[in-house]
Amino acid sequence: MDYVYGPGRNHLFVPGPVNIPEPVLRAMNRNNEDYRSPAVPAMTKTLLEDVKKIFKTTSGTPFMIPTTGTGAWESALTNTLSPGDRIVSFLIGQFSLLWIDQQQRLKFNVDVVESEWGQGANLDVLESKIAEDTAHTIKAICIVHNETATGVTNNLAKVRKILDNYMHPALFLVDGVSSICALDFRMDEWGVDVALTGSQKALSLPTGIGIVCASPKALEASKTAKSVRVFFDWNDYLKFYKLGTYWPYTPSIQLLYGLRTALDLVFEEGLDNVIARHSRLGKATRLAVEAWGLKNCTQSEEWVSDTVTAVLVPPYIDSTEIVKRAWKRYNLSLGLGLNKIAGKVFRIGHLGNLNELQLLGCLAGVEMVLKDVGYPVKLGSGVAAASAYFQNNTPLIPSRI
């Protein structure tokens, strides 16, 4: 039973953790097992092969670490860089801010490129820095693909193009926590050296697995990187990969079975279909926001996110009250505005194992909450806009054709 009970299901529309599908819940409902038995290494081998597919890589080496996205960040940094290394990192919202804080605390020389919250990474500044860096003092570019605080998605292909145009050898490190397996992500094609995600986002699992994927170039860098690492050391994993046992320490058996089922669901739907579904969900949400007469925090169409929408509210409304009211009255969970935009936005998460009708329920709930807090929304306006879009653009379910 819920710690604070509410009738029916909680409508979970934060941008992570997300709804867990019933097949995944059933797969995780099992006893513990000996992870040194033949069964768990055999399953782990298939998982390592299959997680590469969601990164769209054939050459990358994945690591499934019992941690959160924050731990995956640390793994990416400490395995490839040394204290004092110069890195360029983009501050565009709360989660990029937190990654930069980690980078600084790990004693890297962080060259911060800051943009107004609601804008994407300033890649013109990056190009200037790369062009000037003929001595190749910049060792890595760190960027959040999808900034969950503001609903901003960055152009990774353009970052790669800049590096290639100047033949710059900097490592390309990407936080894909709220993008991988939901947005278009191409590790090999875009030359990403380290990409990472978390199990509680698009994979629709509980929190607890930080999945990091390293390119051959990143693995080579790890041989000379002097940052201290123990729990997150890739070398420990690689030793056990060679032994065929895979785990340097105890994994969560339940999460591994859940991941197996979650990947099976993704592949049954088709990864490209999953990405297209998220595109529909994002577009419908933005149409609803427009119908309500409100604005998206994201300041340009080129940066809009298909996994989360941050909605700006009028100055006479505290968005925190919208989030509180939604949970207390309608059993609807929305995302708070964070840090600089606290009280100014609320966030609608639309990622993971989620369909059109579920999102329409959320949008109906948001309309009622907006009415509750004194915003003159026309009930049904956003739902109608989203419904019309879905009715014209939703294909047949692939497995039911």
User: Which domains are assigned to the chain?
Assistant: 11-18+271-395 (3.90.1150.10), 22-267 (3.40.640.10)
Task: Using the predicted structure, report yes or no on whether residue 200 has a pLDDT greater than 90.
Answer: yes
Query: What per-residue confidence (pLDDT) applies to 210?
Result: 98
What is the per-residue pLDDT across 141-180, written as a single tens digit (0 to 9) for each? Answer: 999 999 999 999 999 999 999 999 999 999 999 999 999 9
Task: Using the predicted structure, report yes or no on whether residue 1 has a pLDDT greater than 80.
Answer: no
The pLDDT-based confidence of 74 (bands split at 50, 70, 90) is very high
What is the per-residue pLDDT across 34-72, written as a single tens digit (0 to 9) for each? Answer: 999 999 999 999 999 999 999 999 999 999 999 999 999
What is the per-residue pLDDT across 3-41, written as a single tens digit (0 to 9) for each? Answer: 888 888 999 999 999 999 999 999 999 999 999 999 999
Residue 277 labelled as part of a binding site? no
What is the per-residue pLDDT across 243-274, written as a single tens digit (0 to 9) for each? Answer: 999 999 999 999 999 999 999 999 999 999 99
The pLDDT-based confidence of 398 (bands split at 50, 70, 90) is confident
3-state secondary structure the chain: CCCCCCCCCCEEECCCCCCCCHHHHHHHCCCCCCCCCCHHHHHHHHHHHHHHHHHCCCCCEEEEECCCHHHHHHHHHHCCCCCCCEEEEEECCHHHHHHHHHHHHCCCEEEEEECCECECCCHHHHHHHHHHCCCCCEEEEEEECEECCCCEECCHHHHHHHHHHCCCCCEEEEECCCCECCECCCCCCCCCCEEEEECCCCCCCCCCCEEEEECHHHHHHHCCCCCCCCCCCHHHHHHHHHHCCCCCCCCCHHHHHHHHHHHHHHHHHCHHHHHHHHHHHHHHHHHHHHHCCCEECCCCHHHECCCEEEEECCCCCCHHHHHHHHHHHHCEEEECCCHHHCCCEEEEECCCCCCHHHHHHHHHHHHHHHHHCCCCCCCCHHHHHHHHHHHHHCCCCHHHC
Query: What per-residue confidence (pLDDT) applies to 401?
Result: 84
The pLDDT-based confidence of 391 (bands split at 50, 70, 90) is very high
For the chain, the average pLDDT equals 97
pTM of the model: 0.97
Query: What per-residue confidence (pLDDT) applies to 6?
Result: 87
The pLDDT-based confidence of 204 (bands split at 50, 70, 90) is very high
What is the per-residue pLDDT across 91-134, written as a single tens digit (0 to 9) for each? Answer: 999 999 999 999 999 999 999 999 999 999 999 999 999 999 99
